Amino acid sequence: MLNFYRLKTNSKIFKLNNYCSFILFAAAALLLVLTSCSNQDNTNNGPDSETTDPGLEVVEEKAKSEASDGPEIDEEDDYPYQAAENAQADPETVPRVALYNGSGSWADNVDTLKDFFVSYEIDYGLVDEYNIIDPELLNDYEIVILPGGGAADYRYEISDHDNIRSFVKDGGLFIGFCAGAYYAADIFIWQGSEYDYPLEIFSGSSIGPLSGQVGWGEQALLNLNPDHPANESFEHELDIYYFDGPYFIPHDNEEFYAGTIEILARYDVNDQPAVIAGRYGEGSYLLFGPHPEMDGYGKDEGANWPWLYSSLLWFANW
C-alpha cells in the first residue's frame, strides 16, 4: 500500500515538472520573437509619415507601385500625389454661377437653366434683385447669369447696376440670354425705338425683335463661326429656339476685328451677330440673342445643351 502512494506521488511530481518545463519553453520562444521584431524595426528606420514629409520621390514611387490597387494616401502624401494626378486632368471647368431669378426673370427659363446646370454638374446659386446688389455676395461667384424675361424689369427693379458692372470690371463673367443680353448693352433698340440702358458692359446696341423673319417661339437658323474654338465639334448650322431676342451691333465695328469682341454665331435671316463675347475691364461678357438652353416650351427636344456647354467652357477659360 505504501508503494502505491509513493508511485502516485511520484507521478504528480513528474507531471508538475513537465508543466513547468513547458511554461519555460514558451516564455523563451516569446522572448525570441519580440527580440526579432525589435531588430527588424531598427533596420527599417525610414521616414515617419506622421511627423516627416516623405518627399515627392517617395510619394511618386508609392503611387506607381500601388496604382493598380488604388493606394490609401496619408495626409502628408496627399498633396504631391494629387498634383501628379491633376497634371493629366482637363483644366477646363465652368466656375460657380449666380443665376438671377428675381423680378423680371422668366420662370421657365430659370428652371431650364437649373436643369442644365444639374445635368452638367455646374455649381450654382440663386440671386434676386435684392442680393444681386450686395458686393459681398458676388464674391462667392465667378459668373452672373441674367436669363430671359423682361429687360425693362431688370432696368428698373435692380436698384444698383454699378455693383454688377464693377463685378465684371474687376474680373467677373457676365452671361445674358435674350432679356439679359438686351440689358447688357448701353443702347436697347426695340421695334425701332431706342432706349439708354444703365449696365453698359457691351458698348453697342442690342436690337430686336426679328419680326417678320423669325416669330416668337419659332426656331432660328444660326450659322456658327467655323473658326471659333467653341464650335469645333459641331455642324456649322444649328436650329435654336428664339423668343424675340436681339442681335448685336457695336458702336465701333473695328472691335469685331481687333479681338475685343468675338462672334460665335450669326442669324441666317439677316447675317447679324446672334451670339457674341467681349471684354469689359478685367472681365468678360457672353450674350445670347436666342435660347440654346430651351426647346419650344421646356428643356428637352430642340435644346442645344452640348453646344451651350461648349460655349460656356470656352468663355470661362477665354
The pLDDT value recorded for residue 186 is 96
* Torsion sign (Cα): 14, 16, 17, 21: positive
CATH architecture label of 97-316: 3-Layer(aba) Sandwich (3.40)
pTM of the model: 0.71
C-alpha grid cell, residue 76: 502628408
Place of cell 516564455: 27
pLDDT bucket at 159, cuts 50 / 70 / 90: very high
pLDDT surpasses 50 at 148: yes
Contact indicator for 254, 232 with CB cutoff of 8 Å: no
The pLDDT value recorded for residue 32 is 45
**Domain positions in the chain:** 54-89, 97-316
The pLDDT value recorded for residue 279 is 95
Identity of the amino acid at 249:
I
Query: What is the DSSP code (8-state) at residue 137?
Result: H
C-alpha grid cell, residue 116: 442644365
Strand partners, 68: none
CB burial readout 149-177, b (16+ within 10 A) else e? bbbbbbbeebeebeebbebbeeebbbbbb
The pLDDT value recorded for residue 140 is 92
Alpha helices in 219-292 (DSSP H): 255-258
Mean pLDDT for the chain overall: 77
Tell how many helices (H) and how many strands (E) occur in the chain: 10, 13
- Residue-wise pLDDT for 77-108, tens only, equals 332 222 222 222 244 789 999 999 999 999 99
Give the C-alpha separation, 315 to 97, whole Å.
Answer: 13
- Residue-wise pLDDT for 240-258, tens only, equals 999 999 999 999 877 665 6
* Torsion sign (Cα): 186, 190, 194, 198: negative
